[in-house]
Structure formats: C-alpha cells, structure tokens
C-alpha cells in the first residue's frame, strides 16, 4: 500500500528537478510514489525524470499535452495518486529526510476530521545563503485555521502541506483557470471542511526567486472572481463579517499588485472596489498600499535621480 503520493509539478525545470526528486527519494518513509507532473516542458525534463524512474520504480512521469499551469499539473497528479496522503513539492524546493515520516505519524494519530498538516520551513531568497527567512507555523492555528486563513492572519507554503487524499472527494481539485493563488484557494476549501495539525519543526527548504520585474497583476485579476466565489461559503461557515474582511483583503491585494507595476488606472479602480466592500481603510491596508506605491513609483524615481 502506498502511504504518500508526492506530487511535483514542473515546467522547464530540468536544471533543478533533481533537487526535488532526490529530496523525495531520501525520505525515511519509503512507501511513497513520486509523481512528476510535467506541464508540457520543452527542455530535457522528460528525459531526466524517466532516467530516475528506470532506477527507482517509485518515480512516475506524467505529462500534459499543453501548458496548463501549476494547478493543472497538480490536478493531473491528484487524479493519478494512489497514496493515503498527498504532499506537494515544488520542483526547485527540497525536503529534509524526516519530513513525511513526521507528518504521517502525526496524521495517523489524529481522527479523520483532521485533514491537513503543516511543517516549518527555511526560506532561501534568490539562492543567497545570507538572505534567509523562516516559516514557523504556530500550533495555535489548529484552533481556528479556517478563520485565520480567511482574515489573512495565517501564512502557508505549499511544499509544507500534507493532506488526506480522501479530502478531494469533498472539496474537489484545484481550479485550473487560476494561474495564480490556485493553491491558496484550494487550501481555503480544504480548511472549510477539515481541521489542521501543526508540526513546528523545519523540514522543508524553499528556494524563493524574488525577481524585481516579475509581473503579477494580470494573474491576480484573473484569479479574483474565482476567489470571490468562496464568499458565500465563508459567510455560511463563519458569518457575514469574516466574508467582508475576506473581500477587503482580496481587493487590497489587487491594488498592491497594480501599484507595484505602476498601473494607475487599475489601482484607482481597485481602491474603489475595496472601499465598496467596506468604506474604511485600516492601518494594515494603508501600510500595504503605501509599500506597493513606494515599490512601483518612488524607488524607480529615486534610482533614476541617483543615476543622473
């Protein structure tokens, strides 16, 4: 019996895919399958993964005929998964050897109502050993995880998550139309039904590439209707006010993405939508919007003046 299905979505990551696959195969929990879900790569990803599968039968190569995004690749893996549990691992990240064993031991001791488990992580930014942050999930999140996620008071990292495969029967798969935030939207639906278990130990290494010119606004805007579609679910589970806070946070995210890319018209429209959700900006909103404005307008201006 397969205990855990490890799903690795990838697209043109032949230069780093070994890091993720090796991290999965090094696990002290051996009864796993490693499903590498190729999102129509055009590099040598297929060749590299098939080489692994020849050496270790636990590695399986799955592929999409055309590029569909991370959500489509993960859905391909979840549909094929045979394990009792599912864990996501991004193709440029890695796990410490005891990651799955710790999570499975904890989940096996919990009732089926506890469907998801987080562990801690070390975050390396831009492949810089001196630029490190830490993800420390708080055990107190277990008491009200859904409410915290709705209010934006709980952070998650996809490679730290393990959940019961049976959860999919109730909440469905990821929304493939979303090219961004599809994992957060999926987690929200999971936590609307199932409880959370926290392991504070840092068992994941996340390699975070923070590109200064990366564009997010269009993807955030496209994802917005799909995320707003959960408002009724939140209202039903938690009441009207948490649903209002959820909408406020989504529109604030849209404003920040627009300001960071100096898209003034979209930023003004986003602020109007945000104030329609609730006609008052909280200090948290003002701080986030001000920081995005500085990133999009003030910092480039300062650099330009400095270069004269």
Please tell me the least confidently modeled range out of 42-46, 127-131, 253-257, 280-284. Answer: 127-131
Last residue of a domain, one of 208, 230, 257: 208
pLDDT of residue 118: 98
Residue 303 pLDDT grade (very low, low, confident, very high; cuts 50, 70, 90)? low
Task: Give residue-wise pLDDT tens across range 161-183.
Answer: 999 999 999 999 999 998 888 99
Task: Give residue-wise pLDDT tens across range 232-247.
Answer: 999 999 999 999 999 9
- pLDDT over 60 at 201, yes or no: yes
CATH number of the domain enclosing 140? 3.90.550.10
For residues 129 and 241, membership in a common domain is answered with no
pLDDT of residue 307: 59
With beta carbons less than 8 A apart as the criterion, state whether 186 and 171 touch: yes
pLDDT of residue 52: 94
For residues 119 and 25, membership in a common domain is answered with yes
pLDDT of residue 211: 59
Angle of CA points 275, 280, 284, to nearest 5° = 105
For residues 33 and 172, membership in a common domain is answered with yes
At 201, list the tokens. 């130990």
For residues 162 and 260, membership in a common domain is answered with no
Q: Which domain holds residue 46?
A: 4-208
For residues 9 and 124, membership in a common domain is answered with yes
Last residue of a domain, one of 156, 185, 208: 208
Q: What is the mean pLDDT of the chain?
A: 92
For residues 17 and 114, membership in a common domain is answered with yes
Q: Which of 247, 93, 243 lies closest to 159 in space, CA to CA?
A: 93
How many distinct structural domains can be found in the chain? Answer: 2
pLDDT of residue 180: 84
pLDDT of residue 183: 94
pLDDT of residue 212: 53
With beta carbons less than 8 A apart as the criterion, state whether 200 and 120 touch: yes
Last residue of a domain, one of 208, 232, 253: 208
pLDDT of residue 295: 87
For residues 241 and 202, membership in a common domain is answered with no
pLDDT (mean) for 184-208:
96
With beta carbons less than 8 A apart as the criterion, state whether 247 and 232 touch: no
Contacts of 82 (CB under 8 A, 6+ apart): 2, 5, 33
pTM recorded for the entire structure: 0.92
Task: Give residue-wise pLDDT tens across range 107-117.
Answer: 999 999 999 99
User: Helices in 109-239 by DSSP H: which ranges?
Assistant: 145-151, 167-171, 182-191, 217-228, 231-238
Residue 129 pLDDT grade (very low, low, confident, very high; cuts 50, 70, 90)? low
For residues 202 and 237, membership in a common domain is answered with no
d(CA 220, CA 95): 29
- pLDDT over 60 at 213, yes or no: no
For residues 229 and 118, membership in a common domain is answered with no
For residues 195 and 223, membership in a common domain is answered with no
Share of the chain above pLDDT 70, in %: 94
Bridge partner residues of 9 (DSSP) = 37
Task: Give residue-wise pLDDT tens across range 19-63.
Answer: 999 999 999 999 999 999 999 999 999 999 999 999 999 999 999
Residue 215 pLDDT grade (very low, low, confident, very high; cuts 50, 70, 90)? confident
For residues 223 and 177, membership in a common domain is answered with no
* Torsion angle of C-alpha atoms 183, 37, 51, 208, degrees rounded to 10: -30
Residue 180 to residues 2, 218, 293, Cα–Cα distance (Å): 30, 9, 22
pLDDT (mean) for 152-167:
95
Burial of 265 (C-beta count, 10 Å sphere; 0-12/13-18/19+): exposed
For residues 33 and 181, membership in a common domain is answered with yes
């Amino acid at each position: 019996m397969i205990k855990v299905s490890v799903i690795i979505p990838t697209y043109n990551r032949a230069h780093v895919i070994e890091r993720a696959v090796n991290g999965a195969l090094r696990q002290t929990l051996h009864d796993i399958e490693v499903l590498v879900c190729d999102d129509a790569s055009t590099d040598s990803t297929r060749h590299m993964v098939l080489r692994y599968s020849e050496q270790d039968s636990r590695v399986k190569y799955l592929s999409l005929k055309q590029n569909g995004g991370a959500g489509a690749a993960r859905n391909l893996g979840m549909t094929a998964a045979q394990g009792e549990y599912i864990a996501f691992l991004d193709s440029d990240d890695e796990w410490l050897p005891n990651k799955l064993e710790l999570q499975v031991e904890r989940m096996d001791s919990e009732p089926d109502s506890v469907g998801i488990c987080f562990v801690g992580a070390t975050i390396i930014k831009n492949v810089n050993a001196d630029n490190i942050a830490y993800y420390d999930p708080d055990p107190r999140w277990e008491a009200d995880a859904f409410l915290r996620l709705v209010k934006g008071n709980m952070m998650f990292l996809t490679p730290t998550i393990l959940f019961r495969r049976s959860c999919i029967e109730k909440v469905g798969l990821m929304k493939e139309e979303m090219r961004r935030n599809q994992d957060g939207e999926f987690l929200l639906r999971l936590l609307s039904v199932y409880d959370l278990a926290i392991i504070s130990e840092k068992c994941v290494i996340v390699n975070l590439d923070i590109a200064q010119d990366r564009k997010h606004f269009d993807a955030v805007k496209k994802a917005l209707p799909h995320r707003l579609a959960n408002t009724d679910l939140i209202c039903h589970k938690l009441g009207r006010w948490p649903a209002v806070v959820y909408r406020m946070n989504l529109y604030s995210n849209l404003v920040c993405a627009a300001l960071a890319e100096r898209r003034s018209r979209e930023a003004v429209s986003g602020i109007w939508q945000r104030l329609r959700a609730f006609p008052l900006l909280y200090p948290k909103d003002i701080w986030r919007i001000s920081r995005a404005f500085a990133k999009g307008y003030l910092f480039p201006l300062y650099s330009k003046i400095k270069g004269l």
